[in-house]
Structures are given as C-alpha cells and as structure tokens.
Structure 1
Amino acid sequence: MFLLGGVAELCSDRLPINDALGVLALVVFGWFAVSGNFFGPGLVAYAYVILWLAVRLPKPLHRVGHHNDYSYGVYIYSFVVQQVMAKFGVQAIGLLGFFTASALVSTGLAMLSWHWVEKPALRLKNWTPSKLRERPDEPAPPRGGGPTEDVSEGSTAAPPSRFPTPELHREAAVASAPA
C-alpha cells in the first residue's frame, strides 16, 4: 500500500481521478473484499478508492488532520493492535465488532502517540544547539581555520577554504535580488 501511494504521488500528473474510475474501483474493491481474495487487484482498487475519496469528499472533511494528525499513529499501531486482539480471541465478536474495537484502540494509541511523541518532536524540528547558532551581535568566526592573508613562513594558519562562506552567499543573494 505504501508503494502504491508513493507511485501515485510520483505519477500524480498522469493519474486520472474521476468519478467513473472511482465507482469502478469501489466495485472491484468490494467484490474482492467480499470474495475473501483481497490481495492483488483488490489492493490496487482500494488504493485508488482512498485517493478518489480524498479528492471527492466534501471540503469540510479536507480539514481533518489539519491541527492534529493521527494518521501515522493509526498506520503504525493498527496491525499490532489487530494481531494482539486476534491472539486474545476478540475476533469472536464478529467482523464488525472486531473492526470497531481495533479501530477504537488503534485511534486511542495514535492520539496518545501524537500528543506525547510526534507533536513535541515536531516542535524541535528547527532547533539548533546554542553552540552551533550564529549570534547576530557577535561576528561570525573566520572560515578556513583562521587568517589567510599575509601567511608568513612558520605560520600555522590554515590555507583558504575551497568552499564559499555564508557571507559570500549573502552578498551574492543581495547582489542578485531585484531592485
């Protein structure tokens, strides 16, 4: 399924999303699901149904996950939850009951994961240790190991760096900016 989603993203400019194909995929998915032979074409049809619904569902539903995104937690916990529930015989309550119970437990774990792990981790995505941050009130340390001009014999100064410094990038950006 992950591969199908990745291929759909790569080919999104050539992947037609229309109602006729969506309904056809829904019928194919339903037929394979009811027949008990879900793998193969059934998975491809299921992937298309998910993409089609994502595009065609009413606009208010497009905001689902805008503030709290539980999708990754559901993705990583659902299989484990279903396997543990099956180990303890929960499937005896029937398909609908098993689906409902596993969906509720998986969603609960996904919510905990989002609020306790993922969201706090995302707050740190742009964090830089203080030793690596440039302070605007202090001049940046020289690049290339120190002074490069007037290197006399016996000096331990490093040769000039082959790589442009951030200052050169800033100067080039300012020079090429439209007036």
Structure 2
Amino acid sequence: MGMVFLGQVAVSRDNNLNLIRMIAAFAVLVSHAWPIALGPQAVQPLKALTGQTLGTLSVWVFFAISGYLITLSFVRTDDVPRFVLARARRLVPGLIVSVILVAFVIGPIVTTLPLAAYLSDPATGSFLWRNVLMAMPQFHLPGVFETQPYTDVVGSIWTLFYEVLCYVGVLIVGMMGLLHKRRAMAVGVVIYAVAWLSMTGTGLHPKLTALHQLSLPFIIGMAFYLWRDRVPLHGAIAVLGFLPAILLHNTVCAVPAFVIAISYATFWLAYVPGGVIRAYNKVGDYSYGLYIYAFPLQGLAVWLVPGQGPWLNIAIATPLTLICAVASWHVVERPAMEGRFRLSPTAALRPHG
C-alpha cells in the first residue's frame, strides 16, 4: 500500500474527530481537577514532563482541528453571512444556556449570600453578558465558591474569545481571496512564523499573549488544510514527529515544534485508524458541552464534598458534566446548528467545526 495523504482521506465526515475532541475535553477536565481541588499552586499532570499542562496540550488539539475545519468551512461555503451564522450557531446558544444555568441554578444553591442579595448584585447580571460576549469573561459570582481552594466559577470559556478571533482571521483572509492562493498563504505563514518567534518572551499584554499562544495551533491547522494533498499520514511520522520538540527543548522553537507534532498526530489519529472506533460518530458531538460545563461542575463537586482530592473531583464531576453535555448537544447545540432555532432568515448551514 502506498503512502496515504491527508487530502485523500479527509473527504467526508467518516473520521475520528468527534472522538478526539471528546477525549481532549475530558483531558481538560482532568487537568483542571488539580487546581480546583487543591488550589492554583497545584502541579498539573504532564507539567513537569513536558513543560505544558494536560489542559494546554488538549487546547492545542482543539485549535489545530478548528483551524483545519474552519478553513474548510469557509472554502466550501464561500459566503460570508452563511459562514458567520454557522459559527454563531455552533458557539453561542450552548454558551448562553450554560452561563444561565451556572448563574441561576448553581449560583443560588451554593452562594453564601441571601438569595435576594445574590440576584440583585450587579456582578450576577454582568456575569451573563460578559461571558456571552466572551471578550471580557467574568470568572466569579457573588458568594460562590469563595471558601474553596479555587474560587473561579468558570474557567475554560476564556479560550472561546481567541477561538472567535481566529475565525475572524479566516474570514478576513477568505474575503481577500487568499485561501485559494497557496503562494500568498505560504508567504503569510512565513511572516506569521517570524512574528511569532520574535514576540516570544517579550512581555506582551495578557490578551495578546493568549492570542500569541492559541493562534499557533490554529494557523498550523489551517496550513494542514491548505496543503492537505502534500501531507503524508503515517504512524511512524506521528511518533518521530515529537523528536524535534525534544531536541529543541529550552529553545524558542520548542513550542512550535511541539504544536506541529501534536497537530500531525491528531490528524493521523483522526483519519487513518478505522474500525469500531468510527462508531462513536453515531453518538453525538458532546465535546463542546463537556468543555463549557466541566469547570463549574468541578467546583460544585468540591462544594458537595469538601476536602476532596483531584481523583475524587474527577469521579464526581465527570458523570454530572456528561449529563449536561449530552443534554446540551441534543436540546440546544444540534437544533441550533440545524437551524431549528432561527437566528435570521438566512438558510441554515450545518457547520463543519
């Protein structure tokens, strides 16, 4: 059998992307169990070994997949309103419902304030609009989790703002017609790489630092799509791809090499292994719900059983989060994506990401 290229196998929805995203979302839950149960000083899994937390590695996987699929979505759609509507339908309805449930179900149950004081506190109202708008997320609610090792009510959703910024980048590049021009995109990728390396460790504003970090796997995912017909997929390459990251340890190129290796391994796992694992696609895409509900429910787990360790936190929070994720997918996310919740008269487009 000859070499298989990404462009040959990435031609349908028959892949392992839903499963990979689900595993990545669960890995974020696992990673967060340490600071949520023990406090922000706790050393998270893989941090000592790789220099990155398990949660960070999982977010890289999310952004690499997103870079690939969002680029594919714009190229196939080639229609700005439909593209924007598809992205909004994928992210916003599920986020709105989750924020409302955290503020008006979990919050009133666990707050140390009287209910009237909690509901009338300006921070309760701002929690809704700030987190739905994503740009200035609010992590605290009045009197909620204030005596626990980690006081944030929500945590993971901070990455959604940078996800949207990356979508905007695809939109701008797509509107300029550059996604169909490989030479121009190659120049753009080189300029981005030089800029990324030159800005590393320069003390940027925190938001620029976050964009600097998260845009990297997204851009790499875009590159995998644009040059998909030239990307061979092989298990040996997926394993050996981590060697440059190891050799470049403690250099400015270590993180890019690591992100490239993880991205390549992700796409190999997504499109080459088959068999029974492909049956997961019949279940549903619960990864987004797992991602946005895990953090507040892990905090709720600590409130229910004070003094717990990370593994007990995982054991308690996982089934609670899965229930919310499954409900979110079937009741909110999938209907919104399929256009059953009309956001505009524009025809519905099932998004790819």
TMscore range, shorter length = 0.3 to 0.5
Asked which structure has the greater CA Rg, the reply is 1
Q: Which has the higher helix share?
A: 2
TM-score (structure 1 length as normaliser): 0.46
TM-score (structure 2 length as normaliser): 0.27
